[in-house]
Structure 1
Amino acid sequence: MGDFLSADNVVAVATALVGVLVSIGVVWYERLVRGKSIGYRVQMDIAVDGDNELFNALPRTPDATLVLLRIENDGAEDIRTGDYTDPDPQRGLTVQFAGRQVQSAAVTQPDPSTLIDHFRLGHDVTGVRHDGNRVYLPRVPLNPGEHYKLLIRLTGGPVNSRVEITGGISGGRVKPNRSVPMDEKPPSFSRPARVITVLLTVCVTVLAAIIVAGEKTPQPRGCATGELKVTGSTAFAPAMTAIAKAYEADCPDATITVQARGSEQGVRQLSETGDALRKGADAPAVVAMSDGPKPDGSYPGLTDHRAAVITFALVVNDDVPVTGLSGPDIRRVYSGDITDWRQLGGPDLDIKLVSRSADSGTRDIFRRRILDDHGEPAFTSRDCRTRNSPSDKVIRCELDSTAEVLRTVAAVPGAIGYGEARAAATSKGVRVLSIDGHAPGTEGSADPAYPFTEIEHAYTYGVPRAGSLTASFLDFALRGEGQDVMAGGGYPPCYAPDVAARCGS
């Protein structure tokens, strides 16, 4: 009897009794109280800085705001498309903003990612529509715990104005949830249920400490362990660095290292590393980012994953009073036919071409999109200021990264170069040029006629093994929370419903 009344057994019996009671209570709560329910909450409501605008297809307004809204099935039963009671067969819910007008709305981070298909009414038609101060959402089926988010740009009113979602659910309700920070999970139970859960947790924790003290805490669901390297594009490196930090915050046993060396070099090294492995070995834990696709037929062992739309910009030293160039003038500059800014209405000053190295995806896009597939002049300068030889017709240097190009253009009088649009727009000492009268946006080029854009690609060697860090990180980056990071950085993610057609996915 004394052995039975040991501390281990007493705690175990007490835990079992509490567990039985909690199980009964949870079943009662889930089935009789929660039922069918759609909950919503505002996770972010901020003013948009006029000097750092998102959604640049829209006019700049001093009172622009950005709202991130989470919509979830917080009930105990599935919600099917037929459960919505709106008389419009293509409408499920209506979001209304008091005192503000909707300018743009996009779906982001559906969980599971397959929900994204329910926001497309056709190949090029999205089910997310807006009119005035309302956003209309399609009938999206949601299992318990599933959710999606809306990123909405508004104007005409202050932040934290009232937001309401209306719509009918047969046998259920649509209601606001407690507002929580963007990355915090909503509470699974009501206050009484949470109190009971806490009691059970205390008992289980004590028992676990007695029996398996020191056992390592398992990784969160969806996480993987190990080390992964992200290489390739220097233009997209800031976005991948931010996504890597977000993944490591959720999955502390993973280490993601971003080592940008240029698109072509990253893709080539990934292919060579994978080809060198013995047959049957795991593929290298490497993701190579590329500005634009790899050449057709090259690197057959690589698998393509389309990531986002990326925009580039032509920039000049801020002292050059030129605001835009035509396509023909740009091609004459980069063919060496125009060598002085005076020929383009500027000062009597040599034009100095600050270019990227041959491994650069940005350079290849510039060649294809702007130079009509013609190459740039030969390398003629080591310091981007003087000619290597007096006989050189034009001054042209080559640098290894977007950041180096922008710094050099800002420092060298008469310099012209190119780089990622968001980095160019925020760099001091450079002026962003329009091309044929069209200005680059920092949201994947809001102007569809702007030519200097491309799709950012993520390459892996083969198809990542299920459960591997490569597969987990790509899912996080392209279909999970990484979409919010890309959208916030000005890169419309390819898995967003209004961008998928543009990405060809």
Structure 2
Amino acid sequence: MRPPPQNRTPVRTVSVVDWVTAENVIAVVTALLGVLVSAGVVAYERILQRGRRLGYRVQLNTPLREGDETVGDLTLRVGDIGDSNGSTLVLIRIENDGARDIGHADYEQSDVFEGLKVTFDGRTVQAVVATVPREFDRVKRHLAAPPGLRKEGDAVLMPKVSLARRQYFKLLVLLSARVAEDEIEFDRTLKDTEIHRNHSRSVDEKTPTFSPAARNITLVLAACVVVLATIIVRTETPPPIGCARGTLTVTGSTAFAPAVRELAKKYEQDCDGSTIVVDAHGSTAGIRALAAAGATSGKGSPGVLALSDGRKPGGYPQLRESMVAVSLFTLVLHDEIPVTNLTLDQVRRLYQGRITNWNQIPGGPDRPVLLVSRDANSGTREVFQRRVLGRNEPANSSLDCVTKDDREAPVVRCELDSTEQVLTTVAKLPGAIGYTELRSGSGLKGAHRVAIDGRMANVDEIGDSTYPYREIEYAYTWGQPPADSLTSSFLAYLSRGSGQDVIRTHGHLPCATPKGLRICGDG
């Protein structure tokens, strides 16, 4: 056998040209935009809006009718007001929604009036009353201080009122006629203070923490973060650390091969320039192939990785082992045999040739037993003999798994080269029983899994169940491969990287998990 080429390719480095992709550029630009927007929010709120702001909003503007009129918690009987024909009630909320407090010293002296003023475009103010929340006692005192709250023609005049941030009071005004909201004007003798009309909200709604402009800026920032997160999350699995180029042959266990094939495909997609060939012919055959490749590779380590169900046989001191996962195996039986559970004693008697017909087992039909086994290179068979039978299987008695070539053999027993061949043959031949790794034995047409002593193979019960048919999956290399080699990189991907998720979906428990560490440590 000609060994695969030696892998001495260094770890690929990422150049500036490799890094400059459309996604990376968009991500960086989005992140910078987010930083600039954040700075803009701070500048807008702390610098551009450092002055005082006084807002007002009309919360009620309704003509009075005969009967009762409800304003918040206050019910007015129109007849108690006097001549109210054509009168209108207006409720105005006046609030400090700026970044600074408003105090007495912020008002200028004026010969006309000092304080705040609301005019109603020629409508006579018939009555006015102020309502102040209970917790704003100082505001209430200022409104009551001389000259106090008063009406003058079409205007309401207020004294100098101190308002801390987010403090407010309300004016309930009775007018002689209807008034449009845009005919209500606000004036003041406050210095450096912006007056603006707010949108009407519910009566008791608090002033928003951020101004509308600040909220809009924050929404832009949030959009930037969402776009950046979308770009980052788009890649489902990050590339494995330390990608390497070259060619690697993975050989050995056919039971573990489905998981390795999927892992190899994912690694090749993540790491350009890597080729991983999965060539599985059994655990023992894989160990021998690795040993042969190592013996002809000189001082280096060949690009070969061997997987074995259980530890390697003796006589290969140069091989270095790594525990990868705990593998579960299961007996599989043709669907024509309606047996779903066998005792350990029944399994042993089947493989000793003492049970030759399924009618010797309760619930079994009159059908000869056919034993479909793996060849001597199989780790699955070696685990079955050691963990379940406690002895070797009987000699091979059939080449086609149907006809008994050895007339003195008690049952038909054949040997096949791979797990896939065993599964196909068991599903095809009525009366056939075989064994396989867990995932391959589930969902197979024509065959079903069999429990041993009432226990099914179950990954979630490993370590807590007495189920006997299980083994640690080992990965072997020729000595210690270079850290920058594809062999080292793929082994790390297999045992510690995102490959753990793939291993679990194939019915194995990764040794690197907390539960796997305990079980693999016990051997």
Same fold (TM over 0.5): yes
The residue aligned with 1:268 is 288
Instruction: Say yes or no: does 1:348 pair with 2:371.
Output: no
1:29-178, aligned counterparts within 5 Å?
A: 178=229
In the alignment, residue 339 of structure 1 is paired with which amino acid?
T
Q: 2:324, 2:511 within 8 Å by CA — same for their partners in 1?
A: yes
Instruction: Say yes or no: does 1:376 pair with 2:385.
Output: no
The residue aligned with 2:352 is 335
Aligned residues: 305
CA shift in 2, pair 1:383/1:185, >3 Å: closer
Instruction: Say yes or no: does 1:183 pair with 2:201.
Output: no
The structure with the largest alpha-carbon Rg is 2
Q: TM-score, normalised by structure 1?
A: 0.56
Match of 2:515 among 484, 495, 498: 498
1:12-23, aligned counterparts within 5 Å?
A: none
CA shift in 2, pair 1:272/1:377, >3 Å: same
CA shift in 2, pair 1:220/1:269, >3 Å: closer
Q: 2:397, 2:404 within 8 Å by CA — same for their partners in 1?
A: yes
CA shift in 2, pair 1:254/1:444, >3 Å: farther
Q: 1:227, 1:285 within 8 Å by CA — same for their partners in 2?
A: yes
Shift of 1:409: 0.5
1:438-477, aligned counterparts within 5 Å?
A: 438-442=455-459, 445=462, 448-477=465-494
Q: TM-score, normalised by structure 2?
A: 0.55
CA-to-partner distance for each residue in 1:82-103, whole Å, 9 max, x for gaps? xxxxxxxxxxxxxxxxxxxxxx
In the alignment, residue 311 of structure 2 is paired with which amino acid?
P
Instruction: Say yes or no: does 1:247 pair with 2:279.
Output: no
The residue aligned with 1:95 is none
The residue aligned with 2:378 is 360
The residue aligned with 1:10 is none
Q: 1:232, 1:288 within 8 Å by CA — same for their partners in 2?
A: yes
CA shift in 2, pair 1:464/1:417, >3 Å: same
CA shift in 2, pair 1:411/1:185, >3 Å: closer
Residue 508 of structure 2 aligns to a residue whose secondary structure is coil
CA shift in 2, pair 1:182/1:423, >3 Å: farther
CA shift in 2, pair 1:181/1:451, >3 Å: farther
Shift of 1:347: 1.2
Residue 277 of structure 2 aligns to a residue whose secondary structure is strand
Percent of aligned pairs with the same residue? 48
CA shift in 2, pair 1:327/1:185, >3 Å: closer
Q: 2:398, 2:413 within 8 Å by CA — same for their partners in 1?
A: yes
Q: 1:310, 1:453 within 8 Å by CA — same for their partners in 2?
A: yes
Q: Which runs of 4+ in 1 moved over 6 A?
A: none
CA shift in 2, pair 1:399/1:220, >3 Å: closer
Inter-partner Cα distance in structure 1 for 2:401 and 2:381: 17
Inter-partner Cα distance in structure 1 for 2:237 and 2:442: 35
Q: 1:441, 1:447 within 8 Å by CA — same for their partners in 2?
A: no
Instruction: Say yes or no: does 1:399 pair with 2:431.
Output: no
Segments of 5+ residues of structure 2 without an aligned counterpart are: 1-27, 40-224
The residue aligned with 1:277 is 297
Residue 473 of structure 2 aligns to a residue whose secondary structure is strand
Match of 1:291 among 289, 309, 319: 309
Inter-partner Cα distance in structure 2 for 1:406 and 1:441: 19
Inter-partner Cα distance in structure 2 for 1:368 and 1:182: 47
Instruction: Say yes or no: does 1:428 pair with 2:445.
Output: yes
Shift of 1:443: 5.2
Inter-partner Cα distance in structure 2 for 1:497 and 1:471: 23
Instruction: Say yes or no: does 1:256 pair with 2:287.
Output: no
Shift of 1:29: 6.6
Inter-partner Cα distance in structure 2 for 1:444 and 1:257: 33
Inter-partner Cα distance in structure 2 for 1:220 and 1:412: 44
